[in-house]
Structure 1
Amino acid sequence: MADHAVLTAEAHRTLRVRTDRAAELGDGVMCCLAMPAEFRDVQNEYPILFRHNSERDGFTALAMFGFETDENLFLEDDVWDARHRPLAMEIQPFLIGGADSAGAKQVHVDMASPRIVPRSGGDEGIRVFDELGRPTPYLEKIAERLGLLDDGYQGATDFFDALRRYDLLEPLTLDVTLDDGSTNRLVGYHVIDEDRLRALDAAALGDLHAGGHLMPIFMALASLANLGELIARKNRRVAHG
């Protein structure tokens, strides 16, 4: 169960965080949220799919790491085999909280995260504050990424509204037959409807361009080329047991 707390130098002066990669540290996941603002970087490595959130009656974008729950095909022998990781993975165990009295967003930390080094952990992990209570370069980088993630989240609403306005998402069901004959299925996801996008008139395309939505749309389409590599990773994983 999560245990969120506002990060402060007073309460967390000696806090250390593990930054290595392992399934037991929270990296063993099939996918994570991806913001449209980071699609250009995400699409270099991962397929980007969309999923409907029935509770909010809206869509979210996901960077896909595998085909099954808790499967990350980019994680091999505690090494994340990719040049880029989505912001949602990079900021753990931190998150953006509510605004303080001055209106500034607060940094929160999940003290129940396996990335938190226990007090008995010695010098393991990276310090969040230095001996004088100042943010370390590590924390400054985390704060920067949290800001980017929050900005991306705020801007995502307009992006998904535009996709809905022009009916640009279509359901995807992907059946994958592996080299050993076993099958995997991705169901319940959506992708950009390329045919509908091509059929849009100049006014619609101009509207999407003016809103800054064409680039993430094209990046999401380009990312689907990574499905073949994801299948290849799955075949290698199965072959190696």
Structure 2
Amino acid sequence: MSRHEALNPDDHRDLRIQERRDAALGDARMVCIVVPAEFRALQAEYPILFRLNETRDRFSALAMFGFENGENLYLADGRWDARYRPLAIDIQPFLIGGRPDEDGPKQIHVDVDSPRIATGDEGVRVFDKHGRPTPYLERVIEQIGELDHGFRESGDFFAALQRHELLEPFTLEVTLEDRSDNRLVGYHIIDEARLNSLSGTALAELQAAGHLEPIYMAMASLSQFSALIARRNRRAARG
């Protein structure tokens, strides 16, 4: 359950946030939505897949953390075991007020029912005693701005992928060392053969729009599946 409030120093002067990473704090998730502007950083840590929202006929991009619902193989001893965390994860429990595709200034909201809301003297302050944003909140505000900008830019990226038919269905079947079978279905990846068959004009169009780099980053990210499988095997071996 979530309960969102517009963040302000009058109502949230004493608000503190738990920064550690733990399943109990909302980090037990298999996937996280990401934006193309993050792909360069993401591809070095996570597989990036695409999923179609059937009701809106639009694609979104996801960073993969595990093979089943609620599994995050990057959680370890109260920390996130990767050099980069997706923006949508890092800004929690804050979010952008309003629709991501709306223009104009956005208001920051906070989920006051989030398990990240600290009690007592735990956690990091959001506002100082004078009601001014702390360095922590300033960082979050910057990240929210990056994420908002990334969402607004992503529509053109996904439209280009669909226009050039660059997404193909993807299924992954993995048998782990504990003999358990894992199957990922319902996702898409970049169709490399289709990309290689595009005309020079089409490639130039993608390059001019800034779409080629995230396309190649998404393709490169699939090599991270082997590391993700290794994480799962290590966790299973520890029991």
Structure 1 equivalent of residue 134 of structure 2: 136
Give 1:105 deviation, angstroms: 1.0
User: Which segments of structure 1 move beyond 3 Å, counting only runs of 4 or more?
Assistant: none
1:209 matches 2:210: no
SS in 1 for 2:98: strand
Question: Taking structure 2 as the reference length, what is the TM-score of the superposition?
Answer: 0.96
Distance 1:188 1:222 in 2: 20
Structure 1 equivalent of residue 80 of structure 2: 80
Distance 2:227 2:25 in 1: 25
1:189 aligned residue (167, 187, 194): 187
SS in 1 for 2:169: strand
Structure 2 equivalent of residue 97 of structure 1: 97
Give 1:135 deviation, angstroms: 0.4
Give RMSD over aligned pairs. Answer: 1.0
Give 1:77 deviation, angstroms: 2.2
Structure 2 equivalent of residue 57 of structure 1: 57
Deviation digits for residues 96-148 of structure 1, max 9, x if unmatched?
1139xxx521110000100012xxx2210010000000000000000000000
Deviation digits for residues 51-91 of structure 1, max 9, x if unmatched?
11112111110000000000000112222111110001000
Question: Where do 5+ consecutive residues of structure 1 fail to align?
Answer: none
SS in 2 for 1:105: coil
Pairing 1:1-241 to 2, within 5 Å after superposition: 1-98=1-98, 103-117=104-118, 121-241=119-239
Distance 1:152 1:180 in 2: 39
Distance 1:138 1:198 in 2: 44
SS in 2 for 1:206: helix
Distance 2:226 2:238 in 1: 19
SS in 2 for 1:173: strand
Task: Figure out how many residues of one structure are paired with residues of the other and give that number.
Answer: 235
Query: In the alignment, residue 236 of structure 2 is paired with which amino acid?
Result: V
